[in-house]
Amino acid sequence: MAEEWDNVGLQVGDPTAPAERIMVALDPCRDAIEAAVQQQCNLLLTHHPFIFKPLKKIALSDPLGGLIAIAIKNDLSIVSLHTNLDIAAGGVNDLLARRLGLVDCKPLKVTGTEELVKLAVFVPQGHEEQVLDALSRFSGVIGNYRDCSFRSSGTGTFLPLEGARPFIGEIGKREQVAEIRLEILLRRDALAPALRALMKAHPYEEPAFDLYPLLNRGESRGIGRIGELAAPLPLQDFARQVKNGLGAAGLRIVGAADRAVKKVAVCGGSGASFFREAHFRGADVLVTGDVKYHEAREAEELGIALLDAGHFATERLMVQGVRELLEVELGEKNFTATITAYGGERDPFSFI
């Protein structure tokens, strides 16, 4: 899901090395790298890329070169999740929208649409629920509905050959079994793990299934989120709520303090360029960071308010968010790893 200009994934390290101790941080800065080394971590997972532009040299006298050397010498791999984490469900912008109390959120600027595939699988009667349960986490979405499936009954026939280990029947004898045909809507990008889950949950040694590519499209994905507050607030009151909710040291406001705010757009980090999109979508205010002077002036002319809570404050939620997500995902896959959130990061900007 990352933008084409971005650099995400493995930045430094051995892709085959174990990741038994993981630290999550916003920035791959010296303090975070040294903390990861001190805690004997194998992997530092960051939001901002460690290497953003192609390098022509690695000189240990340069700040970046010196950090690369520290990571390599201490067997510390560094992986970055940047615009893919901005776009992904449960990523930076969903965390930000949730923290600010927004409901009914959608992507602010759509960058793609989920592709869907239909899986039809034949299951002996009485085992259909365990197969559905195994596949539910890979379900595609239609509007506000997920876990969409259809079932019909029939008779399945098969003849086990020499070497088979049939769940039902005998080798060399044609069998007739009461079966259920399950049709399940899946996300295409989750097809490989979905099929692995199917093989594990299905009682047959060789499950029979069909895959159908679909022209239907699922959920839209994109940068930023737009949603609504439970009740309207004056801009000044909402600004205080944002400042306190994000723990921001300061916050810049564009717009009249008493204007009513109900529909809110958010974009973590440098999202001020999306103020036109937010205005077009009917937002009363855009919450982001790194607002420039001329962007503020144009927003005034359009009539949309801006709250600049800073790049750091609007993105650092990912540290705890990714840690919690990893604990759940790795646990479900039976991986064992210690995951810590780096708590030593500070906004480079201060206010007087």
* Pair type for strands 43-46 and 103-124: unpaired
Closest CA to 33 of 20, 16, 50, 18: 50
Q: Write the pLDDT tens digit of every residue in 39-60.
A: 999 999 999 999 999 999 999 9
Last residue of a domain, one of 185, 220, 255: 220
pLDDT of residue 144: 76
Q: What is the CATH number of the domain that holds 274?
A: 3.40.1390.30
Q: Spell 74-96 as b/e; 16+ CB within 10 A means b.
A: eebbbbbbbbebbbbeebbbbbb
The answer to whether residues 245 and 287 touch, using CB atoms and an 8 Å cutoff, is no
- Asked if residue 351 belongs to a domain, the reply is no
Q: How far apart are the first and last CA of the chain?
A: 39
pTM for this structure? 0.81
Q: Pick from 220, 243, 272: which residue ends a domain?
A: 220
Give yes or no: residues 91 and 235 share one domain: yes
Do 100 and 249 belong together in one domain?
A: yes
How far is residue 289's CA from residue 86's CA, in Å, rounded to a whole number? 14
- Quote the DSSP letter at residue 1: -
One domain for residues 300 and 179: no
Q: Determine the pLDDT at residue 216.
A: 86
Q: Are residue 138 and residue 19 in the same domain, yes or no?
A: no
pLDDT digits (tens, 9 = 90+) for 132-180: 999 998 998 877 788 889 999 999 999 999 998 999 989 999 999 999 9
Domain hosting 56: range is 9-82+316-341
- Do 102 and 198 fall within a single domain? no
Are residue 144 and residue 236 in the same domain, yes or no?
A: no
Last residue of a domain, one of 220, 254, 273: 220
**What 3-state class would DSSP assign to 345?**
coil
Q: What is the mean pLDDT of the chain?
A: 94
Residues 94 and 232 in one domain: yes
With a cut of 90, say whether residue 108 has pLDDT above it.
yes
**In this predicted model, what pLDDT tens digit does every residue of 187-245 receive, in sequence order?**
998 999 999 999 999 999 999 999 999 998 888 889 999 999 999 999 999 999 999 99
In a domain, 1, yes or no: no
User: Does residue 62 register a pLDDT over 80?
Assistant: yes
User: Is 278's pLDDT higher than 90?
Assistant: yes
Spatial separation of the C-alpha atoms in residues 194 and 177, rounded to whole Å: 25
Which residues are CB-contacts of 31 (< 8 A; sequence separation ≥ 6)? 344, 345
Query: Are 226 and 282 in a shared domain?
Result: yes
The pLDDT value given to residue 338: 95
Report yes or no: 324 and 342 within 8 Å, Cβ to Cβ: no
Look at the chain and report how many structural domains it folds into.
3
